[in-house]
């Protein structure tokens, strides 16, 4: 092969002008460096208190049951046949259970902490917290597992409280992204830890049962604050423990 051709393919070949040889008009303008971005912070009033106020006007139970009766008629059913006569009542009772998170206060769940940590300075991880929530777009279930870690400062919260916190937010109309952000923000705001890591994996029936009908497709979301956000090694350690070989 021609030596001249080999030279022309190497970096810094003579035919390339050096930066010092360029005229000011020939130099490309330096693009400004974009500022480092951070995730948008949630308003504490959005996630620290119960979502339903005592003075908030709401339809009566009778009106709610009448709405279910209307939906049954809409899909072509006979709401008066024997099997459906009690369905409006059952649906409203199910809603009271499925959406009880609107009446619960996340801040109260995290309020009691313990100081008996014996100088523990690593993160605490609770993984495989099973949950079921309802998609706010189609009001269809999505379900899966939440994995939550935080690095405490002197005081820790009872482990069951992280599961209760997950259930409070899950038992509201949700998107998985918002659910992930709310859990992380509540822990960050109330416990003031050195960092929080939350990862959620879930299957959405609005994708597996309707629409594209892809059964088994899983959606993963994560949120990191503090040391987990700023230290890639801590992120990696959290993820390795969540995805450990015994999963």
Residues with catalytic roles: 135-138, 176, 204, 206
- pLDDT classification of 6: cutoffs 50, 70, 90: very low
- pLDDT classification of 54: cutoffs 50, 70, 90: confident
Strands of the chain (E only): list them: 113-114, 124-135, 141-151, 156-157, 173-174, 195-204, 219-225
The answer to whether the 61-98 and 105-242 domains have the same CATH topology is no
**DSSP assignments along 180-209, one per residue:** HHHHHHHHHHHH--SEEEEEEEEEEHHHHT
Q: List the domain boundaries for the chain.
A: 61-98, 105-242
Architecture of domain 105-242: 2-Layer Sandwich (3.30)
Q: Give first-to-last CA distance, the chain, whole Å.
A: 56
Residue 110: pLDDT over 50: yes
Structural contact between residues 220 and 180, judged by C-beta atoms closer than 8 angstroms: no
Using DSSP bridges, classify how beta strands 124-135 and 173-174 pair: parallel, antiparallel or unpaired: parallel
Q: b/e for 102-135, b at 16 or more Cβ within 10 A?
A: eebebeebbeeeeeeeeeeeebbbbbebebebbb
Structural contact between residues 121 and 160, judged by C-beta atoms closer than 8 angstroms: no
- pLDDT classification of 125: cutoffs 50, 70, 90: very high
Query: Homologous superfamily of 61-98 in CATH?
Result: GTP cyclohydrolase I, N-terminal domain (1.10.286.10)
- pLDDT classification of 122: cutoffs 50, 70, 90: very high
User: What pLDDT, in 10s, does the model give residues 139-194?
Assistant: 999 999 999 999 999 889 999 999 999 999 999 999 999 999 999 999 999 999 99
Can you tell me the distance from the alpha carbon of 71 to that of 88, in angstroms, rounded to the nearest whole number? Answer: 10
Structural contact between residues 143 and 188, judged by C-beta atoms closer than 8 angstroms: no
Report CA 236 to chain centroid distance, whole Å: 18
Angle at 12 between CA 7 and CA 18, to 5 degrees: 135
Angle at 178 between CA 174 and CA 114, to 5 degrees: 105
Mean pLDDT of 25-47: 58
Calculate helix-pair angle for 176-191, 159-170, nearest 10 degrees: 140
Can you tell me the distance from the alpha carbon of 23 to that of 21, in angstroms, rounded to the nearest whole number? Answer: 7
Residue 71: pLDDT over 60: yes
CA neighbor of 105 nearest in space, from 56, 50, 55: 50
Sign of CA pseudo-dihedral 116, 121, 123, 125: negative
What's the length of the chain?
247
């Amino acid at each position: 092969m021609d030596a001249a051709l080999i030279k022309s393919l190497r970096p810094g070949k003579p035919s390339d002008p050096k930066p010092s040889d360029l005229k000011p008009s020939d130099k490309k303008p330096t693009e400004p460096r974009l500022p480092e971005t951070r995730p948008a912070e949630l308003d504490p009033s959005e996630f620290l208190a119960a979502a339903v106020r005592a003075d908030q006007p709401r339809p009566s139970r009778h009106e709610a049951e009448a709405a279910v009766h209307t939906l049954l008629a809409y899909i072509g059913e006979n709401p008066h046949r024997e099997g459906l006569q009690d369905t409006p009542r059952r649906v409203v009772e199910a809603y009271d259970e499925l959406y009880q998170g609107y009446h619960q206060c996340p801040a109260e769940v995290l309020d009691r902490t313990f100081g008996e940590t014996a100088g523990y300075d690593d993160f605490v991880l609770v993984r495989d917290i099973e949950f079921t929530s309802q998609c706010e777009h189609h009001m269809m279930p999505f379900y899966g597992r939440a994995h939550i870690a935080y690095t405490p400062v002197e005081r820790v919260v009872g482990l069951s409280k992280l599961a209760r916190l997950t259930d409070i937010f899950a038992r509201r109309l949700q998107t998985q992204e918002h659910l992930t952000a709310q859990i992380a923000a509540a822990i960050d705001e109330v416990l003031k830890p050195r960092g929080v890591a939350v990862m959620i994996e879930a299957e959405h029936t609005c994708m597996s049962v309707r629409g594209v009908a892809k059964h088994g497709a899983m959606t993963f979301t994560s949120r990191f604050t503090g040391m987990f956000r700023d230290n890639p090694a801590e992120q990696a350690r959290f993820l390795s423990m969540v995805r450990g070989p015994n999963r």
